[in-house]
Structure 1
Amino acid sequence: KNVTVRLHGTLTQPVTVNFTQTNATAGNEYIKLNPISLEFDPPPSHFIDLSVRVSLLGLRAGIFDLLAHLVSSNSSFSALLDEGQAFVRVTVAKSWQLIAASSTIGWAYFLAWTWSFWPQIWENRARASVVGLSFDYLTLNFLGHAMYCGFNCALFWSSSVQAEYLRRNPRGLIPVLANDVAFSLHAVFATTLLLGQCLCYERGQQKVSYTARALMTVFGLVVLMSGVLVATGTYQWLDFFYNLSYIKLAITFVKYVPQAVLNYRRKSTVGWSIGNVLLDFAGGFFSIIQMLVNGYNYDDWDSIFGDGAKFGLGLFSVLFDVLFIIQHYVLYRESNYIELQGESYPGPGSVTTAPPQGLST
């Protein structure tokens, strides 16, 4: 691979451009450069606009920044090279095959997670009922995705938020891609549709619990206070949207609990789509596998275990999916729970029976 170094501006004395590799020591570099430094002499016009290619040869796997530094006896020439921008993020992999595998795995979990909303929607429509589906889970899930959607859209589309992010992270990359925005928008649409089904279909006596209402009130106050801090100049908009992402993380830790408890109380998973669970499990499993593949291929384990929140959340979701799978296929596999069209939710652990005419199962 090659990188290009460009000098543009007034030059009256010779200058040298040297390179350093972040997180590397002498004798333990990630790459070998050719040439290892660049010499620039002043042209007759004393104005230089010259680009030079530097070739890179990988020595060991890793992810690092290659920085360029201008060395001159005259400090006024520092404007020739903006060292705050004179860097390139370099990734050295062990195997191209693993890169392809990681990309395939990434598409697999993206599609699994995107599709995971629809089995529940279809099941609700087929049954014309949402009995057995926790309203606490639905409302918390909607709120979490709405918060995450706000964060993703702001960092993807807002130039002012992006500028603030890059000001705080001069060598950082915007952490939101187009597929993140697409997933978030789709998730908000799907969860809104699920909430709409709760208004249209048989729901018995189910309602949002006081606990869930209290949680959503707390989250709402966090959003309100963050907005006030932005209005008073204490916060930047980036801080506001960071808080939205933190709310999403907090919701992920609690949103599955109401559904697991409801299944336990009813001794049944009727009304809770196993297709949703299996696709969510597949998405979480492939996400963790991709992190492990990338960690090995780029020798970058810190990005996995150094960011415990991201890895922990993925593992946490997978463990809850395992619990739901056990509830569906083992604990309540032979459940004969039946709902009647127009009946109220009969309560924890009870079974409603009736003559076979007009049953909706």
Structure 2
Amino acid sequence: MASWNSIPLEITYQVLGWIAFASWTIAGYPQVILNFRRKSVVGWNFDFVVLNITKQSFYLIYNATLYFSSAVQKQYFDKYGHGEMIPVAANDVAFSTHIVLLNLFGLFQIATYERGGQSVSKITLGIVSVVYLTAGVCFFIALPTHSWLWMISVFNSIQVFLASIKYTPQVFMNFKRKSTDGFSIGNILLDFSGGIANCAQMTVQSLDQNSWKNFYGNTGKILLALVK
């Protein structure tokens, strides 16, 4: 695995990564705080919640596997070159872990607070079912040859797809109700800031290594930053 050529760029990379982590992490709290204060989840679309926790779970699997598994890292280097760095940083794993736990707490709030008759739509249940079925098929395809990099790359693509559609039910619900009551919009700017920091982090790594392979080696991360 390659090492950093410039200490200032390495420091910049770490700083930008943790800025993205902080922005995206803090962005998740206004909603759970709002739910707690109101003792209600009315106005928080459950389809969004289900799509989001599914998306974040797949992102966690991708990040943690590529960051911790030496076998998957070897497959990455065999594909993209042994002079490359893996395109996942500690802040990516930390964010994914934290946001999954925060989403689980959100599910707990849904189970305990006033729901106002809201439920998960059949469309969302269908989408999630197809997603998990696809993941299961990919696992059994990858199992004989241990093609784990391919499998988690598919998972990464799945989470980008879910990220691109997850807000749609919430937007439609807000439009139908002509209100955003119950939905915290304070996370939008933080999401945007995190996306910029994330893109900048990957750019810094590419500049240091004089290679842009980390972008197409982790297209999910850059696409996530753009659609977040």
Name which of 50, 55, 58 aligns with 1:144. 55
Partners of 1:152 and 1:271 lie apart in 2 by 31
Task: Structure 1 unaligned segments of length 5 or more: list them.
Answer: 1-84, 318-361
Q: Is the 8 A contact 2:17 2:91 kept in 1?
A: no
Deviations for 1:83-133, whole angstroms, at most 9, x for unmatched residues? Answer: xx8xx566479xx5x876665444322211111111111110110110111
TM-score (norm 1): 0.55
Name which of 55, 58, 64 aligns with 1:153. 64
The amino acid across from 1:194 in the alignment is G
Show the counterpart of 1:267.
Answer: 178
Partners of 1:126 and 1:199 lie apart in 2 by 16
Show the counterpart of 1:107.
Answer: 18
Q: Say yes or no: does 1:243 pair with 2:179.
A: no
- Cα distance, 1:122–1:152 mapped onto 2, change above 3 Å: same
Deviations for 1:17-76, whole angstroms, at most 9, x for unmatched residues? Answer: xxxxxxxxxxxxxxxxxxxxxxxxxxxxxxxxxxxxxxxxxxxxxxxxxxxxxxxxxxxx
Q: How many residues align?
A: 226
Name which of 97, 107, 128 aligns with 1:185. 97
> Displacement of 1:178 after TM fit?
2.1
- Cα distance, 1:246–1:109 mapped onto 2, change above 3 Å: same
Partners of 2:156 and 2:55 lie apart in 1 by 8
Show the counterpart of 1:220.
Answer: 132
- Cα distance, 1:182–1:304 mapped onto 2, change above 3 Å: closer
Task: Structure 2 unaligned segments of length 5 or more: list them.
Answer: none
- Cα distance, 1:229–1:136 mapped onto 2, change above 3 Å: same
SS of structure 1 residue aligned to 2:186: helix
Show the counterpart of 1:82.
Answer: none
Partners of 1:169 and 1:265 lie apart in 2 by 47
Structure number with larger C-alpha Rg: 1
Partners of 1:178 and 1:225 lie apart in 2 by 29
> Displacement of 1:276 after TM fit?
2.4
1:23-172 alignment runs, 5 A limit: 91=5, 104-171=15-82, 172=84
- Cα distance, 1:89–1:214 mapped onto 2, change above 3 Å: same
TM-score (norm 2): 0.83
Partners of 2:209 and 2:138 lie apart in 1 by 38
Show the counterpart of 1:253.
Answer: 164
> Displacement of 1:248 after TM fit?
0.8
Deviations for 1:283-340, whole angstroms, at most 9, x for unmatched residues? Answer: 224434x2697499769795798787654542333xxxxxxxxxxxxxxxxxxxxxxx
Partners of 1:312 and 1:152 lie apart in 2 by 15
- Cα distance, 1:229–1:210 mapped onto 2, change above 3 Å: same
Deviations for 1:197-230, whole angstroms, at most 9, x for unmatched residues? Answer: 1110011121111111111111111111012213
Partners of 1:180 and 1:303 lie apart in 2 by 18
Q: Which has the higher strand share?
A: 1
- Cα distance, 1:241–1:313 mapped onto 2, change above 3 Å: closer
The amino acid across from 2:103 in the alignment is T
- Cα distance, 1:255–1:301 mapped onto 2, change above 3 Å: farther
Task: Select the structure with the greater relative contact order (CA < 8 A; seq sep ≥ 6).
Answer: 2
SS of structure 2 residue aligned to 1:215: helix
- Cα distance, 1:300–1:207 mapped onto 2, change above 3 Å: farther
Q: Which has the higher helix share?
A: 2
What is the RMSD of the two structures over their aligned residues, measured on CA atoms?
3.1
Q: Say yes or no: does 1:198 pair with 2:102.
A: no
Q: Is the 8 A contact 2:41 2:113 kept in 1?
A: yes
SS of structure 1 residue aligned to 2:40: coil
Partners of 1:316 and 1:241 lie apart in 2 by 20
